Amino acid sequence: MAQQILLNNIEVPGLASFDVYRKLGGYTSVEKTLKNFTPDEVTAEVKKSGLRGRGGAGFPAGMKWGFIDKSTNNPRYFVCNFDESEPGTFKDRHIGQLNPHQLIEGMILGSYALGARTSYIYIRGELFYVLRIIEKAIEEAYANGFLGENILGSGYSLDLYCQPGGGAYICGEETALIESLEGKRGNPRIKPPFPAIVGLYDCPTVVNNVETISALPWIMNNGADAYSAIGIANSKGTKLISACGHINKPGIYEIELGLPVEEFIYSDQYCGGIRNGNKLKAVVAGGSSVPILPAELILKTAKGEPRLMSYESLAEGGFETGTMLGSGGFIVMDDTTCIVKNLLTFARFYHHESCGQCSPCREGTGWMEKILQRIEDGRGTMKDIDLLVGISKHIEGNTICPLGDAAAWPVASAVRHFRQEFEDHVKLQKCPLSK
Amino acid sequence: MSLIKVTIDNIEVEVEPGTTILNAARKIGGAVVPPTMCYYSKLEGSGGKCRSCLVKVAQGSTKDPRPMPKLVASCRTAVMDGMVVQNITSPEVMENRRAITEFLLLNHPLDCPVCDQAGECHLQDLSYEHGLVDTETVEERRTFAPIDIGDKIKLHMNRCILCYRCVMVANQLTDQRVHGVLGRGDHSEISTFITRAIDNDFSGNMIDVCPVGALTDKTFRFKSRVWFTKPFDAHRDCPKCSGKVVLWKKGDEILRVTGRKDKYGELEDFICNDCRFEHKENSDWVIEGPRKIERHSVISQNHYETEVRNRSNQSQ
Ligand SMILES: Cc1cc2nc3c(=O)[nH]c(=O)nc-3n(C[C@H](O)[C@H](O)[C@H](O)COP(=O)(O)O)c2cc1C
Ligand code: SF4
Ligand code: SF4
Ligand code: FES
């Protein structure tokens, strides 16, 4: 069994309560850190650990903290992104629901490092039942002196709130999240300026993912070196993978980064192979936004090397033959799957979730959905296939926020790797896999 | 502060630090100025949305000469000393601008023959200059019924390109914004708060800032195509605004009152609703003389109909 950092005690009954969590060594990192580390030393430690953002982009966490503007007298904010809405991604909910104190502990560490006095957990509206669990945990943390005035007599004070959103995917984009948190319509902001300079209420702000933040207690307890000893190359530590689709054992797995993809799919410790002994057809490795890869390219890179579950290895080959680790939403499809139909499902999602601010995304996402619907229904033309790729190219890179790219990449990659299947739909005037 | 140098389409210009690429291009003027469908210099925070002003930054600055990886919105990107920008000299920019134009037209009804904005519509200009002759879309368009927002303004949501200018007018010029964007994506709509009428002294300016025919003046008398009316600069002593307007006349009759727009189609001054809606007699105004419409548009060239004819010929 690989090292477990995040899911270590996840099966302990009552872990969500303060007492059980505390008995298992919970909150010791706060005691240790407030006593022995200055805020800048915490940042340095996180930098050294090599921890990267687990929300999708994989940006080094310590480096992001280092950008925060500490030169003004304005308040600084630390915000947890708990909007988790990417199709295929369901790992943060697991932490929030079963181990909320680990997240709160991480929030205290991050807030201390950044000098934040007020911090927020922004949670997706549909997760109201998780909101209740977190709110109860926050209350317990206050009652036990880990939140509020003068924490453990250190002189450091912190207020923590959990704020539900309305349930919009776009509010997971960090600047849209900030707008929403301010009580406004969740439209992404135009960057620069970045939140580290102008964020929540125009003050310096860091937004991190639930999983990123939940790794902090372990890092402060065991040290940066211990963390960076886990993993491979620039992919340090462990990563939660939410695996779904046509596998025998869908679920949430904590893997050591660098695990071979083949082992992850076929080993009984993880996905346990493809259902019914079917053949693997394709994998979307990092949540619906990342390029889809056919079986040969997900198991091995174009160079013939085994593909690993790491930032670098999954990206090997660029967008031509590679993909991204993204948020860790691992969607597996066997040979009964229609790629066009799968893509249509994704396209419908992005069309529905576009905020509508910028024209390429607002108009292009709906256009792609219509064309895909046409092709899937057997009403498409060969010209439609190229049109689809053309639209995706004109969205990509031309939008305010990466939702546009996230809508374009799956389309471009599906046609790149499975063009024949699109053409078959057109030629047969129906889905070749439909009965 | 010392000026910094930027090159746009091989033309050098000196501007103050903090100037956007767009405004540097406007300083040069002419063909290198990117088209703007959402930016409005008088509205804070405007721009960045329509993406029609995208340009290529071939060199970031003298200090850091690397090119920028993506096309950038010129209306929201500040120049750096030594920056090299390509607008009309970049085939990539032109191709993407064509695509943006197509996106903007995708759900646009193209009902120009019955639209009050025809002849002074920025989208018409944009599509004339950058659009495809042969439009690719066979898709069904979204449809909304036209609604009255108050007794003076009509909203044709079908034509809206969601530039947010009207929302910013309401936010920045009037006391209480009662309208905004509802919904998301291509199903978003401009609407008022629980069908409240938009009623305050400066709300009429949203008609002037609207780049298309989504917001129009219900008091436009004896409905006439814009190019059959003649614009005159005029003013009156107004306690609420500058009172400087343009009267759009047919014969001796004032059909419509608007603010004065510059060559980029932006108002010089916002005017009040009193001037706009309630003063349509010649005796209300001191007429200064005919107004020269500077904006390069189908209306000022006065050959809108020939162009439409040419385009329909081409597409046959
Ligand atoms: C459309 C869109 C949706 C996103 N949704 C989420 C989300 O639900 N959760 C999340 O942590 N990050 C999400 N992100 C990424 C955030 O913008 C941001 O990069 C992240 O929260 C930073 O945290 P990290 O550095 O710890 O990964 C989203 C980004 C985009 C463009
Ligand atoms: S890319 Fe899409 S979601 Fe992002 S700002 Fe533009 S319209 Fe909104
Ligand atoms: S109604 Fe006009 S001004 Fe308002 S958002 Fe739509 S196009 Fe822009
Ligand atoms: S004018 Fe620049 S994006 Fe619209």
Does ligand 1 have an atom closer than 6 angstroms to the CB of A26? Answer: no
Please calculate the CA angle B285-B286-B292 and round it to the nearest 5 degrees. Answer: 100
**Do residue A363 and residue B76 have CB atoms under 8 angstroms apart?**
no
CA of B73 to the centre of ligand 3 (A): 19
Does ligand 2 have an atom closer than 6 angstroms to the CB of A170? Answer: yes
- Local confidence pLDDT in tens for the 435 residues of chain A: 578 999 999 999 999 999 999 999 999 999 999 999 999 999 999 999 999 999 999 999 999 999 999 999 999 999 999 999 999 999 999 999 999 999 999 999 999 999 999 999 999 999 999 999 999 999 999 999 999 999 999 999 999 999 999 989 999 999 999 999 999 999 999 999 999 999 999 999 999 999 999 999 999 999 999 999 999 999 999 999 999 999 999 999 999 999 999 999 999 999 999 999 999 999 999 999 999 999 999 999 999 999 999 999 999 999 999 999 999 999 999 999 999 999 999 999 999 999 999 999 999 999 999 999 999 999 999 999 999 999 999 999 999 999 999 999 999 999 999 999 999 999 999 999 986
Is residue A251 within 8 Å of residue A243, measured between CB atoms?
yes
User: In the CATH scheme, what architecture does the domain A18-228 have?
Assistant: 3-Layer(aba) Sandwich (3.40)
Q: What is the pLDDT of residue B300?
A: 46
Question: In chain A, which residues fall in CATH 1.20.1440.230?
Answer: 339-428
Question: In chain A, which residues fall in CATH 3.40.50.11540?
Answer: 18-228
Q: Which of B77, B93, B103, B132 to mutate to test the interface with A (most CBs of A within 10 A)?
A: B103
CATH 3.40.309.10 fits A237-334, yes or no: no
A400 in reach of chain B (CB within 8 A):
yes
**Do residue A351 and residue B185 have CB atoms under 8 angstroms apart?**
yes
Strand partners, A101: none
Bond prior to A192 in cis (omega within 30° of 0): yes
Using CA atoms, how far apart are residues B166 and B34, in angstroms rounded to an integer?
21
Is residue A325 within 8 Å of residue A353, measured between CB atoms?
no
Convert the pLDDT of each residue in B122-181 to its tens digit. 999 998 888 765 555 678 898 999 988 888 999 999 999 999 999 999 889 887 777 889
A355: which chain B residues are within 8 Å (Cβ-Cβ)? 184-185
| Cα nearest neighbour of B163 on chain A | A357
Using CA atoms, how far apart are residues A362 and A383, in angstroms rounded to an integer?
22
Q: What is the pLDDT of residue B111?
A: 87
Q: Which residue has tokens 């004065």?
A: B260
Q: What is the pLDDT of residue B151?
A: 86
Q: Where are the domains of chain B?
A: 4-92, 225-304
Residue with CA at minimum distance from ligand 3 atom 4:
B166
Q: CB atoms < 10 A from the CB of A240, how many?
A: 25
Strand partners, B73: B54
Q: How does DSSP assign A206-218, residue by residue?
A: EEEEHHHHHTHHH
Q: What is the pLDDT of residue B134?
A: 58
This prediction's pTM: 0.94
CA of A387 to the centre of ligand 2 (A): 21
Class of domain A339-428: mainly alpha
**Do residue B184 and residue A355 have CB atoms under 8 angstroms apart?**
yes
Q: What is the pLDDT of residue B305?
A: 38
Q: CB atoms < 10 A from the CB of A354, how many?
A: 29
CA-based nearest residue to A83, from A226, A179, A1: A179
Low-confidence ranges of chain B (pLDDT < 50): 298-316
Q: Could you tell me which CATH number the domain at B4-92 has? A: 3.10.20.740
**Do residue B71 and residue A352 have CB atoms under 8 angstroms apart?**
no
A198 in reach of chain B (CB within 8 A):
no
Strand partners, B35: none
A375 in reach of chain B (CB within 8 A):
no
Q: What is the pLDDT of residue A39?
A: 97
Question: In chain A, which residues fall in CATH 3.10.20.600?
Answer: 237-334
CA-based nearest residue to A122, from A150, A152, A151, A160: A160
A85: which chain B residues are within 8 Å (Cβ-Cβ)? none
Using CA atoms, how far apart are residues A398 and A401, in angstroms rounded to an integer?
9
Q: CB atoms < 10 A from the CB of A306, how many?
A: 12
B185 in reach of chain A (CB within 8 A):
yes
Write the CB contacts of A82 (distance below 8 Å, at least 6 apart in sequence).
Answer: A92, A96, A121, A122, A123, A124, A127, A130, A210
CA of B15 to the centre of ligand 2 (A): 31
Q: What is the pLDDT of residue B196?
A: 66
**Do residue A394 and residue B139 have CB atoms under 8 angstroms apart?**
no
